[in-house]
A = this chain, B = another copy of it.
Amino acid sequence: MFDSGVGGLTVVRALRRLLPAESLIYLGDTARVPYGNKSPQTICRFAREDAQFLLAKGVKALVVACNTASAHALESLRRECPVPVIGVIEPGVEATLAHEQSRHVGIIGTTGTIRSGAYQQALKAARPGLKIQAVATPLLVPFVEEDWLRHPALELVLGQYLEPLLLRGMDTLLLGCTHYPMLVPLLRRMLGGKVRLVDSASTCAAHTRDLLKAKGLLRAGRARGGLQIHLTDRSEQAEALARRLLKGEALRIEAAQL
């Protein structure tokens, strides 16, 4: 599994719960994070390099835990990689459509994810009548990375981003970035019970399980699988956030050179 940084560890968390026997190798490209405001060409180049690092370690499947990389690079990775590739867009779309009552879906994500149109197109294709509004919310990741999760400034920022969605009656909010599950408590407080929150972390884990099963790749036995974390930059901030996201795991973090 790879991500632009350590936000993708929310997907690791979900996968460890669902598939405890599987061994996981995680690459976080913390030296070049964020991907969200960079150009599609650069994002595709970075994603290809991340995938090469993991393929060289002999992985049997590849999870792209980064929404921006999934939005831009998934198709080319699928063409180029000799193993199954799972992204977070399809699982996010599936989780959104799981509730028949959804009529008006708001999507928030990085500038790259929203501009790609990946979520919008997939939702439209699956349910043509759905009302969809997508908003790029680039200031959210910095707040999460600073752990200012209850700060009034973050509430003002979120309020500004969500206002056009709420004005038009959004009933479902798709969290299109692996950092955003950390915002759920604040979002619940701001939105009350009227808006359903959807994130792709748990659906992505279920997708991965189904795919491994279908391909006969699921690991047998009950022994807990290993967990390796590789970061292209081992900054204090990244390591601290990794430990926060994977509380309870005995973490060994290694430096990766791409």
0/1 string, A224-256, CB within 8 A of B gives 1: 000000001111110000000000000000000
Identify 11 new A-B residue pairs, CB closer than 8 A, beyond the known A138-B142, A138-B145: A30-B38, A32-B32, A38-B233, A39-B234, A39-B235, A39-B236, A42-B235, A151-B157, A151-B160, A153-B153, A153-B154
Chain A residues in the interface with B (C-beta under 8 A)? 30-32, 37-39, 42, 111, 138-139, 142-143, 145-146, 148, 151-154, 156-157, 160, 232-237
Residues of B contacting A143 with CB < 8 Å?
139
Residues of B contacting A39 with CB < 8 Å?
233-236
- Name the residue on B nearest A233 (C-beta): B42
- Name the residue on B nearest A31 (C-beta): B42
- Name the residue on B nearest A46 (C-beta): B31
Q: How many copies does the complex hold?
A: 2
Alpha-carbon distance A234/B235, docked complex (angstroms): 26
Complex partner residue of A139 from B37, B148, B234, B235, CB under 8 angstroms: B148
Residues of B contacting A38 with CB < 8 Å?
30-31, 233, 235
